[in-house]
Amino acid sequence: MQNNIIQIQNLTHYYGKKKIYENLNLFIKEGTVFGILGKNGVGKSTLINILMGYIKPKSGECLILGEASHSLSPDAKKDIALLHEGFVAYDYMSIEEYEKFFAPFYDRWNSSIFYDLVDLMGLDYSQKLSTLSFGQKSQVVLGAIFAQDAKLLILDDYSMGLDAGYRRLFIDYLKDYINKRKKTVLITSHTMNDLDGLIDEFVIVQKGGIIHQDTMANFNADKSSTFEDKFLDFVGKY
């Protein structure tokens, strides 16, 4: 039986009078890839901030790895690897310096995982991050996320302005990574093209909260249109 890595019950949050979520209930099982999908500005990053304890919701319960999200223990935090929208890349460091800087902070740091993703781009480890393209720099940052070897990966808007080639490289690597290891992944995105075949379950959110929750298998049972077209059609109704 799969345990719930994330449990959200009757979660309500407002900014002033602006409703973000009201009585939200969401359960994410261990070993699944779960997508929070929706247009920019609908509250995807707010939910990540609540999960990480950066924001305390107005009401409701939010548990992550069995602990209240606003008071996570150091041990629980070690089991969460977070890619936050608007990452800091430390441009003055080389790729090798970047890896050596982060390694001591994580007990299970795996340098080979970091360099696996770097090697896919054929980069020299002595290159400064400032000399890399945006896509290359993003892959280096993602390598550091994977190298933490955490139980739960939270990837907030993983695409980060990447072009199609770098998005595909990342998705292919992510699939291979989670196939070899028992990981739970929570991924937010406003683009749907790359996620078909990756995520197991998902919610589509709009201003005010969830508007649709489903499994990918069930959502794809309708063969009349593509996943992307169905997503756009669905959010277009609201």
Task: Over range 16-45, report the average pLDDT.
Answer: 87
Sort strands 67-68 and 209-215 into parallel, antiparallel or unpaired: unpaired
Q: What is the pLDDT of residue 174?
A: 87
What distance in Å separates the CA atoms of residue 155 and residue 142, rounded to the nearest whole number?
Answer: 9
Average pLDDT over all residues of the chain? 85
Specify which residues 212 forms β-bridges with: 204
- What are the extents of the domains in the chain? 32-43+78-235
**Residue 201 reports pLDDT greater than 70:** yes
The amino acid sitting at 215 is T
**Which alpha helices (DSSP H) does the chain contain, by range?**
44-51, 74-78, 95-102, 111-119, 134-147, 164-180, 216-219, 227-235
**Residue 144 reports pLDDT greater than 90:** yes
Helix (H, G, I), strand (E, B) or coil at 146: helix
How far, in Å, are 43, 49, 137, 173 from residue 88 at the CA level? 22, 17, 10, 22
**Residue 237 reports pLDDT greater than 60:** no
CA of residue 107 relative to chain centroid, distance? 21
Highest mean pLDDT among 184-188, 211-215, 230-234: 184-188
Q: What is the pLDDT of residue 73?
A: 93
Q: Name the band, by pLDDT with cuts 50, 70 and 90, for residue 227.
A: low
Q: What is the pLDDT of residue 233?
A: 65
Helix (H, G, I), strand (E, B) or coil at 103: helix
38 near 44, Cβ under 8 Å? yes
CATH architecture type of domain 32-43+78-235:
3-Layer(aba) Sandwich (3.40)
* Tally of CB atoms within 10 A around 68: 14
Q: What are phi and psi of 19, to 5 degrees?
A: -80, 125
230 vs 126, higher pLDDT: 126
Task: Over range 69-82, report the average pLDDT.
Answer: 91
Task: Over range 184-204, report the average pLDDT.
Answer: 84
- Beta sheet of 4-15, edge-to-edge order: 18-29, 4-15, 59-64, 67-68
223 vs 179, higher pLDDT: 179
Give the global pTM: 0.88
Q: What are phi and psi of 182, to 5 degrees?
A: -85, 95
pLDDT tens-digit series, residues 94-115: 999 999 999 999 999 999 999 9
Q: Name the band, by pLDDT with cuts 50, 70 and 90, for residue 7.
A: very high
Q: Name the band, by pLDDT with cuts 50, 70 and 90, for residue 125.
A: very high
224 vs 57, higher pLDDT: 57
Task: Over range 175-203, report the average pLDDT.
Answer: 84
**Residue 238 reports pLDDT greater than 50:** no
Taking the chain, what is the end-to-end CA distance rounded to the nearest angstrom? 36
Sort strands 80-83 and 152-156 into parallel, antiparallel or unpaired: parallel
Instruction: Supply the angle between the helices 95-102 and 134-147 in degrees, to the nearest 10.
Output: 30
* Nearest to 19, CA basis, from 54, 46, 39, 53: 46
The amino acid sitting at 24 is L
Task: Over range 194-202, report the average pLDDT.
Answer: 84
